[in-house]
A and B are shown apart, each in its own frame.
Chain A
Amino acid sequence: MHNSMIRALRARSLRHSLCVLALAAAWIQTPARAQEAPNAPAATQPAAGHATVREQIRYIRFRSDAEEDARRIEEWTAWTSVAIGLTGDLSLTFEAPLVYRETDGGPDDGTHSGLADMTLALKWRFFQKDYGPIDTLRVALLVGTELPSGDDQLSSDSVDPEIGLIATYIRGRHGFGGALRYKFTTGAQQDPINAGETLADQIRYDASYLYRAAPAEYAADTHGSLYLVLELNGSQETNGDSQLFLAPGIMYEARSWAAEFSLGLPVWQDLQDRPDADFIFRWGVRLLF
């Protein structure tokens, strides 16, 4: 009973911390990357000399029904991303996930929180063709690395390079995105839960479609757009593990802030080295003044 109370208090405390972190990030004054789906990257970036701060809250529930490893896991992540525009077509991005994990069953029964592995990446937009006031095609190269946080349960304690290609195409009310990323894994986490945490290279592939539901046509006084989002987010690891999520969502972009919400549902999971995911909630905010 005493342990349950302590666990509940710690969970409440971390959730409050996540809220404060999200709100703090929201108050930072920066321009933003635009037309970027909640999960898939886009070939967009902040202007030279400016920065973008994006805060996303993620909730994932995992389950494993294997007799020797029966457990339920709930994971909250406050994912912070800061991108700095170095030139008009080159940006540097730093990502840091703060994780709270609650495990019921298995060897790691209990709660754990801390900083998971971070990411540092350069995004170079090497192709851009603007067809009109709105329509555009952009392609970017991503080169980065995962950096160890040192956490005993949330870090692989390794430096894992990553390379990727990202494309974004906007035509009128329709936005299309595609991304292919490869991570060269050099170290595994002690107890892998998420994709990319085992000692196997990982291929991530994403496809996104954004439909501008309102307004149908931009006007001189347009100050916001509502988008319906549909994404496919896949992961294939060289150990054979594969996972594919379908993620419908909604996004609102104003000139000074944006908010996004997405629900990721697994449509395919073939996992040997980690538990299945039930679903993923993502809620993100970008706020500008």
Chain B
Amino acid sequence: MSRSNPATTLLTLLGLLAAGCQSGGAPRASETASSAPAATSAGEASLTTIALTDPAPLKSDSATLTVGGLGCPLCANNIENKLGGMTGVQSVSVDLSTGKVKVGFWGKDKPSPMALAQAVRDSGFTPTQIQTP
């Protein structure tokens, strides 16, 4: 009589854990910030390509990185967290369909293309291009 019913127990666990998962639906700061105009208003036609090894801080208010190896939505999270933690970065938005990562900046201490590229590598992905408006 004391033996548990595995199916009932499993369903209970699933229900409880699913409730926990649903509570994670709230957008993170980086996702909320990613809709900021600063990161989305750059026109593709007017972008200028910059060397990934350039150590000079960027002067523009945004940049678009092209990244390889973004296999899934959780991969985007790695980049959002890594770039989002850099000084001068205000917003990060990852487009999985194109591998484009739009980064918005604020303040005077903006990162260099070299630092952005290294952050992408530290996230486990390959930067192939950086462009600014």
Contacts and interface: CB of A to CB of B under 8 A. Distances in A.
Interface in A217-238: 217-220, 222-225
Contacts of B6: 59, 61, 74, 281
B10 interface: yes
A3 to B, nearest CB: 8
Interface stretch (B24-32, B42-50, B56-64): B24-32
Interface residues of A, number: 70
Contact of A19 (B13, B27, B75, B99): B13
Nearest to A131: B68
Contact of B123 (A88, A102, A132, A218): A88
Interface string A25-55: 0110001111100000000111111100000
12 contacts: A4-B2, A19-B16, A44-B124, A59-B6, A87-B122, A88-B121, A102-B4, A133-B98, A222-B73, A254-B74, A257-B24, A258-B74
A255 B17 contact: no
A161 B57 CA distance: 46
Nearest to B85: A49
Contact of A57 (B13, B68, B74, B82): B13
Contacts of A152: none
Interface stretch (A5-13, A142-150, A191-199, A200-208): A5-13
A34 B1 contact: no
Contact of A253 (B10, B17, B73): B73
B69 A47 contact: no
B126 A283 contact: no
B125 A15 contact: no
B97 interface: yes
A255 B30 CA distance: 11
Interface residues of B, number: 49
A33 B99 CA distance: 18
Contact of A222 (B25, B66, B97, B121): B97
Interface in A238-270: 253-259, 261
A256 B13 contact: no
Given A23-B20, A26-B20, A61-B6, A133 B77 contact: no
B17 A31 contact: no
B130 interface: no
Contact of B2 (A7, A133, A258): A7
Interface string A131-144: 11111100000000
A95 interface: no
A133 to B, nearest CB: 3
B73 A136 contact: no
A281 B11 CA distance: 12
B31 A255 contact: yes
Contacts of A217: 97
A89 interface: yes
B16 A23 contact: yes
B33 to A, nearest CB: 13
A253 B70 CA distance: 13
B31 to A, nearest CB: 7
Contacts of B69: 128, 130-131, 133-136, 170
